[in-house]
Chains A and B, each alone.
Chain A
Amino acid sequence: MNQAVIHLHPSGPLLALVGNPNCGKTALFNLLTGSRQKVANYAGVTVERKEGRLTTPGGKFLRVLDLPGAYSLYPRSPDERVTCDVLFGRASGEKRPDLIVCVVDATNLRRNLRLAMAVKRLGLPCIVALNMADLAERRGIKVVPEALAVELGMPVVSTVAIQSSGAEPLLALFDDPAIWCSMALTPPAQGMPTESDHLVVRRILQRLGLDDVIPHTPSDRIDGVVLHPVIGPIVLAVVLFLVFQAVFAWAEMPMTLIKTATASLSEVVGVVMPETWLRSLIVDGLIAGVGGVLVFLPQIVILYFFILFLEESGYLPRAAFLLDRLMGSVGLSGRSFIPLLSSFACAIPGIMAARSIANPRDRLVTIMIAPLMTCSARLPVYALLIGAFIPQRLVWGAFELQGLVLLVLYLAGVIGALAVAWLLKRFTAAGRQVRPLMMELPSYHLPTVRNIAIGIWQKVMIFMKRVGGIILILTILLWFLASFPAAPDGATGAAIEYSLAGMLGQALARVFEPIGFNWQISIALVPGMAAREVAVSALGTVYALSATGSDTAQALAPLIAQSWSLATALSLLVWYVFAPQCLSTLATVKRETGSWTMPLIMAGYLFALAYAASFITYRVALALGVG
């Protein structure tokens, strides 16, 4: 029955969520539609419109749009333009909304209500969701929705977007036919600027007894430490440092578990199955390849735990504040910090997040250097090489050497990015003007266990889908290329050397030989273009197939530790710090910049940078005698 309704009205009434940045629109959207869009405690999380569906308690079927936050209806950056285009009915492929839900942060009515007034003047049916009602109550801000509704001339309901029943009053309101045409009752648009909106809002707040400015004592106390000119940067350094230590220290046990499980699995298969090509596909292709990537799941979970915690707490914009001077010295602003930080998870959301940067030149520079931030897909590659070549010991009594090396690799990417930005500043005139910051510092929230758990679960599912999808497919494909054609009779080397992949690898090795890569590495680089982790699974497959006789079941790390020099390993690590991103990143850059020029320039400069850096690393390492 319900299904039928949905099919009969594929484009039901359209409802749009509009409001200031960080007022909880996406949290409310997720609650209303059951979606899982990204929610975080800083301004500019949502940068494109997202659609969802909901059915009201009365059985009405609605389409819901989540929109980027905006401070006014005069857009200053590409993400705010998305919101305005929808509101004015200019968005391509979307009609003008039938109802606007103006989401308002109840703890900051002074600023939020001004936008509500401007939205009301658009003349579309409009209701107000007084969100964060829980926080307002805790701070002693007593807003009576009915009284506010009278003052505003619009229906008002309280919501708490982070509680499962927090949107019930809003849902019930959607069934009220009056709200869908309520604008007919109010006087027509007056087209007033923000200033007089401000006076109106101030009068309303005075009448409701809400005009006092309430100090943010707990947040301010944290800021006293975190933004302190001396202590603040130390706190930031300690936080980053702990994250990388934890990625290695905490992951050890679960990683050993996964390793033992895959090793015994391949042993069992090796015993149970007869020696055919199918056994080779399962043992050398699937278990060695896919299992090799799966091992790094615990480290990815730990990294995301910290990223999610920092995002939800509200610390990220503070970090951006602390680093603003540094960014300024290379011709960027603190505004570029969050897109760059998002790129540590994956460059694609990072490049999208650059939409919240108003200055077009800064936005482009941010997009171009985002791939230099080490994405989580590179973590398996780093972890494999570090595990194989860096001894596990403590330095200075307390720090794990492996964690330190990982931190250095991440820093190398950051320094590379800053250097590129600095060069662009030196050689372009636009790089030297003062650029605006005007960045909101939201009050701190204590992240809930539930939200973090859901966030991590989503990341795990994404990773598992990659493992079961693109990584699996490429691994199987590589196994075929590496197994056929079979070795001729009387061949002396391993069969793979005569296969298609072996021949390709040997051809590529000529290009990469000056930076110390052998033909096995050269093969692995190719599927690594599609997804970074595949480089690891590809190495697993290639080495499993190169092995002769009994050592097939051996794990990849000790194998490469035996057969590569330290100089090669270092060179490969450096390659992965700088090498061009996966193809989907380049495709995203094309979409965001509108042509293939930028992605091509990006791929070219990153390739040159990676080659040069690896060359220097390899040659220096050889000269130091670690060849």
Chain B
Amino acid sequence: MSATKNGISGATLDLAAIGHALTVHDVQAPPTSPEWARWLEEIGFIDGEYVMLMARGLPGGDPLVVRIGQSTFALRRAEAACVRVASVAQPNVEGCKA
């Protein structure tokens, strides 16, 4: 679990590069739609879960295709912006950096 603490915290999923292995750092919903936080958690956006941006939609890069854990979801950019991510420096290397 410690591997997740290394990345650039503050980067959000909507700005991630396509195909980069990331982990979820936390989920912060905008004040206008607080229920998104729980909804995102329910579909798998939970601290430490593997996440990857797969594709961007048509003009404007919205919506996004996101791999979260073992599932694939289409998310609005505004939804992806609620998810702060951390990069996985070496995937599958547990605990080598503290």
Q: Are B40 and A198 in contact (CB under 8 A)?
A: no
Q: Which of B33, B44, B65, B92 lies in contact with A436, CB distance below 8 A?
A: B33
Q: Are A324 and B74 in contact (CB under 8 A)?
A: yes
| Chain B residues in 8 Å Cβ range of A108 | 69-71
A72 to B45, CA, bound (A): 13
Distance in Å: Cβ of A361 to nearest Cβ of chain B: 14
CB within 8 Å for A111 and B44 given contacts A213-B50, A216-B72, A439-B74: yes
A431 to B71, CA, bound (A): 30
> Does A171 interact with chain B (Cβ within 8 Å)?
no
| A430-455 interface (Cβ within 8 A of B) | 433-434, 436-443
> Does A94 interact with chain B (Cβ within 8 Å)?
no
| A62-112 interface (Cβ within 8 A of B) | 71-72, 74, 76, 107-111
Mark each residue of chain A from 332 to 345: 1 if its CB lies under 8 Å from any CB of chain B, else 0: 00100000000000
Distance in Å: Cβ of B63 to nearest Cβ of chain A: 5
| Chain B residues in 8 Å Cβ range of A110 | 44, 49, 69-70
> Does A220 interact with chain B (Cβ within 8 Å)?
yes
CB within 8 Å for A227 and B63 given contacts A214-B70, A436-B36: no
Q: Which of A202, A229, A320, A436 lies in contact with B79, CB distance below 8 A?
A: A436
Q: Are B74 and A317 in contact (CB under 8 A)?
A: yes
A334 to B57, CA, bound (A): 12
| Chain A residues in 8 Å Cβ range of B44 | 110-111
Q: Are A198 and B50 in contact (CB under 8 A)?
A: no
A195 to B46, CA, bound (A): 7
| Chain A residues in 8 Å Cβ range of B40 | 438
CB within 8 Å for A229 and B56 given contacts A223-B65, A438-B40: yes
The CB with the most chain B CB atoms within 10 A, among A108, A198, A320, is that of A198
| Chain A residues in 8 Å Cβ range of B76 | 434, 436-438
CB within 8 Å for A321 and B39 given contacts A111-B69, A436-B79: no
Q: Please, which residue of chain A has its CB at the minimum distance from the CB of B35?
A: A76
Q: Which of B33, B43, B54, B57 lies in contact with A229, CB distance below 8 A?
A: B57
Chain B: interface residue count, which band?
35 or more
Mark each residue of chain A from 215 to 229: 1 if its CB lies under 8 Å from any CB of chain B, else 0: 010011001100111
A227 to B74, CA, bound (A): 11
CB within 8 Å for A334 and B63 given contacts A108-B71, A443-B72: yes
| Chain B residues in 8 Å Cβ range of A334 | 63, 74
Q: Are A325 and B75 in contact (CB under 8 A)?
A: no
Chain A: interface residue count, which band?
35 or more
> Does A194 interact with chain B (Cβ within 8 Å)?
yes
Distance in Å: Cβ of B91 to nearest Cβ of chain A: 9
Mark each residue of chain B from 49 to 74: 1 if its CB lies under 8 Å from any CB of chain A, else 0: 11000111111101101010111111
| Chain A residues in 8 Å Cβ range of B62 | 324-325
| Chain B residues in 8 Å Cβ range of A227 | 54-55, 57, 65
The CB with the most chain A CB atoms within 10 A, among B65, B67, B70, B76, is that of B70
Distance in Å: Cβ of B43 to nearest Cβ of chain A: 6
| Chain A residues in 8 Å Cβ range of B79 | 436-438
Distance in Å: Cβ of B45 to nearest Cβ of chain A: 10
| Chain A residues in 8 Å Cβ range of B57 | 227, 229, 321-322, 324-325
Q: Are A223 and B55 in contact (CB under 8 A)?
A: yes
Given contacts A436-B79, A440-B72, A443-B72, 20 further A-B contacts (CB under 8 A): A71-B39, A74-B38, A76-B39, A110-B44, A111-B70, A111-B71, A195-B41, A212-B92, A213-B50, A213-B70, A227-B57, A233-B58, A321-B63, A324-B57, A433-B32, A434-B78, A436-B76, A440-B73, A440-B74, A441-B65
**Chain B contacts to A: CB under 8 angstroms:** 32-33, 35-36, 38-44, 46-50, 54-60, 62-63, 65, 67, 69-76, 78-79, 92
